[in-house]
Structure 1
């Protein structure tokens, strides 16, 4: 029988994450988006991982650029990944491997709509799990499937550029088939592997929306409900899915192939997880720890599985980051004392990221820098991005040390 997941030892584990969005496809008016390239992580990965360990992180959410590692279908270039894996082992830094963070390889035409997509990503997932078993044993098959479906299927911002509810459903079903097959292949290759699902939490305020609120409320759970085989004729989204081409045979496939995560990861940002619609415009709403508490409780009530806060941070002045670090960790500890099985806390991103809107114009990456991390990036006259620790770095480290070993309470 597989050993218990290291996260499930009744303590709160602290990590950080490196922003790793990849959209390598270009078209007129939209350029390539590769966060590792834009933040010079490809050049400074040893320094970045060392800093993560120095900050006190036990684990890191770190993504593989699939489009680079498998440059041609079925052909892998492991050289860089082998170095990264060896170095994380040397540091004693656990990696929750982000197998797919939006971008597909260039050779996969029509991206997620390619009929071979579920098997292609499963083939890649198995190859990674086999090669790094014993070093990397924790996997997120696909980051934020609902956000992915919004950008690629509902708003047409990213390839394959579908739009509307029909596009959303087509993309999310394809993604979920890929997630199921990936998890199956990961576990087949490495039975000790464990799965941390990750999706963005959503909250809504206001009285109007282009999509009915009852659909929105359920849609945030759609990827988990599909992959866990929970959708049948009585599910609130059964008719919605059927209207957009999902058949009972499709749903039966998910039920027969149901997979379950060891930990459900929820991403929450106090300044923009909660939104209000004004016409078709989305306005972010500040929700603080109230939104965090509500969202984590919703996921636990629905699935009764261990939870991790897999992304949280706040942009702006360092002072605001310091405040949110204290407030969010305190709230997580309070929830644990009340019996909610929260097993992980992740400050994400660890360092400055480049806003995704960079893809849509010709401004420099520096014009799109968002400083949300424990480390800020500053470009020197030699064009190298220097990594500078902020006061949030030391504050995170002190909070981790103070929280070490705190056990979850019982209701």
Structure 2
């Protein structure tokens, strides 16, 4: 029997892994192109060599998403052929899969998307089908990647389906995502029993600057609490004393729904935190109003490792679970990426030495991705490439090639050093722990 993810991490040194960007927003429309990152990056056809790249730099685990819209093309119909091959090869290579079940988009046939009345049942049905299919290969799941980004982009900003807006839209999406999240986790737990391990993952959101200015105080206070809203709902933390209870009730939440969520908490075995030093900290400027998001973004501030430390400590304290850095990088030059790799690993080493249970480090992504602005654009995908990866995406006559950079060499060296290190905190070497 495979050891649980929690034990696998806590019994050794810091584990190093990677992610492959798997945003799926398959619904198009006038002036809107579907987003399928696997299609844009040609991962659907290059998956085998992509997995070899991950293995070649020493990745011990891989955060990788199932494309729900492809494996479930019609209600009740499943097509697992491609995912069978990818997951099987991942395990053959000795890479531990952490499966993203929901990385934004829903199938095209689900009218209303996350706002559909039967969304929680549909997403749980899909999740349990996946867990049953791969019960001999996969035990570790992220039910929803970045649930609060779902709430913002689909509920508050109206960028992605179902295009809801404002606080009312945010509340409707938060409740729907939370109910689906709980149903997913409980369904998989019933299927896999104590072999199942759940890595909850959310985007860290920090707000600084003129947050106490009269024109910003109410919004900034709401956003600080809202950053944790879905995880609070899922883990049964929204009660009479929750600072956003009045907002929830004002915008359509009923006490029975909140009580039901509180009675059926789904706790993380590991709390994953996504932190991007150049994007995770938004700045409120005095007298300047920004809605937030792509259409009207607030400026951001790079708080580096200080911001990283703050969010890891806060998530560990709030949810009383080991934490993992589940996404990080800087979009920049090779030198800038290497500098952040070394600085962020050193900060996590410092936090671990001080007693914080940080169990994993994830560079995101393995290779570059295409920015979500592609959806609203009309030019070639190359106009939207983000230089984030260990490997750069290079357009050629044969498609999108992967070109190794010095970031890959740096990551491999750090991962190897960790894997071969003596972990003095447990008073045994890695060889002894095996």
TM-score (norm 2): 0.92
Distance 2:72 2:277 in 1: 36
- Cα distance in 2 between the residues matched to 1:59 and 1:70: 26
1:216 to 223, 226, 230: 223
CA distance, structure 2, for counterparts of residue 408 and residue 294 of structure 1? 25
Are residues 409 and 291 of structure 1, via their aligned partners in 2, closer, same or farther at CA, if it must alter by over 3 Å? farther
Residue of structure 1 equivalent to 2:429: none
Contact 2:102 2:144 in 1 (8 A): yes
Query: 1:206 matched to which residue of 2?
Result: 209
How many angstroms apart in 2 are the aligned matches of 1:295 and 1:46?
A: 35
The alignment partner of 2:394 has SS state of strand
- Indicate which of 410, 420, 423 corresponds to 1:395: 410
Displacement after TM superposition at 1:90 (Å): 1.0
Q: What secondary structure does 1:331 align onto?
A: helix
Query: What is the aligned counterpart of 2:21 among 19, 22, 33?
Result: 19
Q: For the structure 1 residues 58 and 252, does the alpha-carbon distance in structure 2 shift closer, same or farther, using more than 3 Å as the test? A: same
Contact 1:210 1:279 in 2 (8 A): no
Partner of 1:350: 366
* Alignment pair present for 1:234 and 2:236: no
CA distance change for structure 1 residues 353 and 7 in 2, over 3 Å: closer, same or farther?
Answer: same
Count of residue pairs the alignment pairs up: 409
Point out where structure 1 has 5 or more consecutive residues left out of the alignment. Answer: none
1:188 partner SS: helix
Match of 2:252 in 1: 245
- State the distance in 1 between where 2:218 and 2:151 align: 15
Structure 1 distance, partners of 2:41, 2:411, is: 22
1:121-270 → structure 2 map (5 Å cutoff): 121-191=123-193, 192-208=195-211, 209=216, 212-270=219-277
Aligned pairs (5 A) from 1:41-60: 41-60=43-62
Deviation at 1:408, TM superposition (A): 8.1
Shift of 1:134: 2.4
Unaligned runs of 5+ in 2: 291-296, 427-434
Using the alignment, how far apart are the partners of 2:339 and 2:11 within structure 1? Answer: 28
Deviation at 1:3, TM superposition (A): 5.3
3-state SS, counterpart of residue 204 of structure 1: strand
CA contact (8 A) 1:337 1:408 kept: no
8 A Cα contact 1:129 1:190, kept in partner: yes
1:79 to 78, 81, 84: 81
Q: TM-score, normalising length from structure 1? A: 0.97
1:242-297 Cα deviation digits (max 9, x unpaired): 11111111111111111111000000001110011341141111110010011111
Aligned-residue offset at 1:394: 0.6
Residue 310 to residue 211, structure 1, CA distance change in 2 (3 Å): farther
Q: Secondary structure at the match of 1:103?
A: coil
